[in-house]
Structure formats: C-alpha cells, structure tokens
Amino acid sequence: MAREILFEDQWLLAIDKPAGLVVHPTYKNVAGTLLDELRAREPGAALSVVGRLDKRTSGIVIIAKSAAVHAALQKTWPYADKDYLAVVEGRVDPERGEIDVPLGTDPADRRRRIVRADGAPSVTIFERLDYLSSAGVSLLRCRLVTGRRHQIRVHLAARGWPVVGDEVYGRPLDGFPRHALHAWRVALDHPGSGRRLRLEAALPKELGSLYPNSDTVAR
C-alpha cells in the first residue's frame, strides 16, 4: 500500500488519504477503498475507521486496530481537535468566527445536507489565514466542534463562501477534480497512554497549485 503513514503503533494507524479515494465500501464502491487496502495489509485484523472523510476530501484518517480501541476512540473523538484547511470563494469577513446552525437531510436528495431548523446542532469555528485577491479566494482554518456529514462544506456555503471546486454545495472548477478541503491536523488522546497525540498531513500538491504559498501561510 503506497499510502503515507503518519503514525502507527499497536493501537492505531493514521493515514494521509489522497482525494479521490473512498474510505468505506459502499453500494457504489464495493471494492478498492482505503479500508480494503488496510485489510489486505493486515489480514484478519479488526480494523475500523474513526470518523470519515468524503471521497474528494484529502487528509488524516484514523484507523483503530481492534474493537476495544475503536470503542475507546469513539468516546474521546468528540473532544479531539480536528482542524481542516479550505480554499473558499470570496473574501471571508469577519476574519474569524463561529457558524452555529443546525444541519439535516435534504428531503429532495438524501445524499445532501442542508440548514434546517429541526436539524442536528452543528458548530464550526473558522479563521481566515489569508486572502488571495488575484483569484478572489480565501484560505481558511476550520475546526469541527461537532462532526456532521458534510458539515464544513454546508456551513461555509450557507455563509456565502462555498469551498472551491465543490460541485454539490458550490460549483465545479475546470481542471480541478476535487473540492479544496483538507483534513490538516488532529490532536487526540491516545487510547493506550492517554497522552495527547498530535498529527499533521501536509497540503497535497494540487491544493498548493490552486493556492500558492498555502503551505507557508498555514503555519
């Protein structure tokens, strides 16, 4: 498996997932997923993914190596720091803030999420790291307080700052076959030692080509 391993021990594994790779098998992707690759790497191991990333989102994926570790991580996962980098359309003002609006299923398309009064509480904290006036796009750091499906993408689009290349909640970008969202940093309590484990996945090249010097700005 030619995936970058960010961390590994007897308890868990952290992978830097590229955009375009599906994490879990689904009815549309019954094979060739990240989990399939990992199970082929460790046959017979009770591997399971903690948290999820969309197919077109890159970055950190945490894999538990046993059912007991998965259960332990599920309890602490809500308290982990999960930071994403996003390139969005427009200049984001204010420079930092919190988006606190409930999200639920779109009755017209169950694959989509929308803002709705009867939805689940959903909170995203954002900070503008930079604005590229020549392209009219901003680089944001987004921290998940809750972890709803498509949360960052829906929250940012609802504020008028859709993620660049997001064909579901924004618009596709010619020549850029993904949305510009990257699971950048995770800090969590290790299920064995209890110590804080801090991980970082470098920005992929295609995001660097979309937003020059983004790896320097995001420090």
Phi, psi for residue 154 in degrees, rounded to 5? -70, -45
Catalytic residues, by residue number, are 54
| Partners of 87 in beta bridges | 139
Place of tokens 């064995």: 192
Q: With residue 205 as reference, give the H or E element that holds it.
A: helix 205-210
Amino acid code (one letter) for 203: L
Q: With residue 114 as reference, give the H or E element that holds it.
A: strand 109-115
d(CA 109, CA 122): 20
d(CA 22, CA 57): 9
- Residue 15 near residue 2, CB atoms below 8 Å: no
Q: What is the DSSP letter of 164?
A: T
